[in-house]
């Protein structure tokens, strides 16, 4: 999947799933994210060959950014182009945090995805423990995420359990994930 | 956490993607920015008889609104990771500035030569750009805050667009406290104030628009 497809195949496979996901289809969203994760793994592995341990963390961080920013996707554009714009931004951000010059990145743009299929190898384990970071969120946000996204309560059930409105609960989940993204960026 | 588990977590109960995210964040910044700029402008010392300002008031308000619309559009485009139609929004902004420059030039040429300098400088040219710039700072903070939650990948340009947007909102507010009546004054000094705000946004962008 993903890494060995040409960009066109990847886009053609992803777009229908993605559009259904944007409309609220949860299983399509899961499938789309899985394809994207495989693609990102290859993309980052080729560019972070000196730090293979960073790849899976960056895949997870980028998936979180894609999720938080999915409202900025414009249906008239290729999903893969939008996704790569975010992936590239996350890669540059990581290199900057690691003190590498952005100039180092320029030659990477010329890499041809299809010519390096082997680099899209199996996933190494992630170094960062997102479950532990989730525990560090403020209580209301942490509970909202645990109920709706780990225990699998519906948003309405979780809102009733928390004694808040449905929209307030959605805001708690979104703010919690945004705060998580900020903590991920600040981790060494 | 394994990536598969992470995907499960992200997808579960995700619901439909939010729509019009940039507009939903920039509108409150626009309304709040104008309200604060107008309130601060009206609190400036010295009463202005807006009736005596006449048509120039509408020129200033119209210029500010057109600038805010174009710069807001530009900021909304640059708030997306894959920024498209940036050139169209940028051209719209340039067109508004150019149209105002033409109006100012026409007004300036209609003056008898000895009065042209006074027509251009008015009585408040040393104050006006700084007033517009100062009044834009609350709106600039609001606009940058709005874009922080989105995904700009060109932070200098996105910051500058936020600054031009905030400067235009400030110009609308400052028009209520400005007694100048010449179109050349508006074309030069109001635009300079907006440009100062855009420059501040360009400097702040890379520092605050990180995600």
Query: What is the rounded (10 degree) CA torsion for B11, B14, B16, B17?
Result: -80
Residue A131, H or E segment: helix A130-135
The chain B residue lying nearest A146, using CA atoms, is B9
Which residues of chain A does B82 touch, with a Cβ-Cβ cutoff of 8 Å? 74, 77, 81-82, 85
Residue B119, Cβ neighbours under 10 Å: how many? Answer: 19
* Whether the domain at A2-119 and the domain at A130-186 fall into the same CATH topology: no
Nearest CA in chain B to A128: B1
Sequence spans of domains, chain A: 2-119, 130-186
Inter-chain touch A149–B19, beta carbons under 8 Å: no
> How many residue contacts between A and B have a Cβ separation below 8 Å?
112
Within 8 A of B10 by CB-CB distance, chain A residues are 29, 33, 63-64, 67, 149
Chain A residues close to B17, C-beta within 8 Å: 21-23, 70-71, 73
Which residue of chain B has the CA closest to A94? B211
pTM: 0.89
Question: Which of A24-28, A108-112, B95-99, B117-121 is the least confident region?
Answer: A108-112
pLDDT tens per residue across span B143-180? 999 999 999 999 999 999 999 999 999 999 999 999 99
- Give the C-alpha separation, B176 to B46, whole Å: 12
Cβ neighbours of A65 in B, within 8 Å: 151, 211
pLDDT averaged over every residue in chain B: 94
Q: Give the one of B12, B22, B210 whose C-beta lies nearest to A149's C-beta.
A: B12
Q: Is B88 on the interface with A (CB under 8 A)?
A: no
Handedness of CA A151, A157, A160, A166 (dihedral sign): positive
CATH number among 1.10.3470, 1.10.1740, 1.10.10, 1.20.1440, domain A2-119: 1.10.1740
**Eight-state DSSP code of residue B14:** -
CATH code of the domain occupying A130-186: 1.10.10.10
* Residue in A with minimal Cα distance to B12: A149
- What is the SS3 assignment for A63-102? HHHHHHCHHHCCCCCCHHHHHHHHHHHHHHHHHHHCCCCH
pLDDT tens per residue, range B74-108: 999 999 998 888 999 999 999 999 999 999 999 99
**Mean pLDDT value across chain A:** 86
Confidence of residue B132 (pLDDT cuts 50, 70, 90): very high
Name the token pair of B41.
């402008």
């Amino acid at each position: 999947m993903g890494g060995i497809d040409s960009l066109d195949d990847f886009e053609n496979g992803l777009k229908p799933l993605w559009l259904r996901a944007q409309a609220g289809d949860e299983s399509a969203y899961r499938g789309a994210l899985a394809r994207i994760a495989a693609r990102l793994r290859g993309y980052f592995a080729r560019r972070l060959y000196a730090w293979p341990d960073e790849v899976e963390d960056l895949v997870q961080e980028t998936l979180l950014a894609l999720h938080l920013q999915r409202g900025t996707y414009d249906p008239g554009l290729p999903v893969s182009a939008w996704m790569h714009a975010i992936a590239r931004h996350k890669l540059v951000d990581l290199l900057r945090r690691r003190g590498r010059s952005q100039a180092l990145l320029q030659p990477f743009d010329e890499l041809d995805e299809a010519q390096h299929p082997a680099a899209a190898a199996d996933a190494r384990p992630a170094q960062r423990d997102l479950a532990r970071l989730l525990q560090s969120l403020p209580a209301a946000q942490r509970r909202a995420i645990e109920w709706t996204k780990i225990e699998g309560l519906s948003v309405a059930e979780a809102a009733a359990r928390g004694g808040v409105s449905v929209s307030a609960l959605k805001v708690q989940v979104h703010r919690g994930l945004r705060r998580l993204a900020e903590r991920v960026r600040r981790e060494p | 956490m394994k990536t598969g588990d992470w995907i499960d977590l992200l997808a579960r109960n995700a619901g439909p993607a939010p729509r019009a995210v940039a507009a939903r964040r920039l509108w409150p910044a626009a309304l709040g920015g104008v309200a604060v700029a107008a309130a601060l402008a009206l609190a400036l010392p010295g009463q202005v008889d807006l009736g005596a300002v006449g048509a120039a008031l509408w020129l200033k308000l119209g210029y500010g609104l057109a600038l805010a619309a174009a710069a807001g559009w530009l900021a909304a485009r640059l708030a997306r990771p894959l920024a498209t139609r940036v050139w169209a929004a940028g051209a719209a902004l340039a067109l508004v500035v150019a149209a105002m420059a033409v109006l100012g030039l026409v007004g300036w040429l209609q003056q008898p030569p000895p009065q042209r300098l006074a027509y251009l400088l008015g009585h408040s040219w040393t104050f006006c750009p700084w007033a517009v710039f100062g009044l834009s700072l609350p709106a600039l903070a609001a606009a940058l805050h709005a874009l922080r939650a989105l995904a700009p990948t060109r932070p200098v340009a996105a910051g500058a667009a936020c600054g031009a947007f905030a400067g235009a909102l400030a110009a609308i507010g400052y028009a209520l406290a400005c007694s100048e009546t010449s179109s050349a004054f508006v074309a030069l000094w109001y635009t300079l104030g907006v440009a100062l705000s855009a420059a501040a946004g360009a400097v702040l962008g890379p520092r605050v628009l990180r995600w």
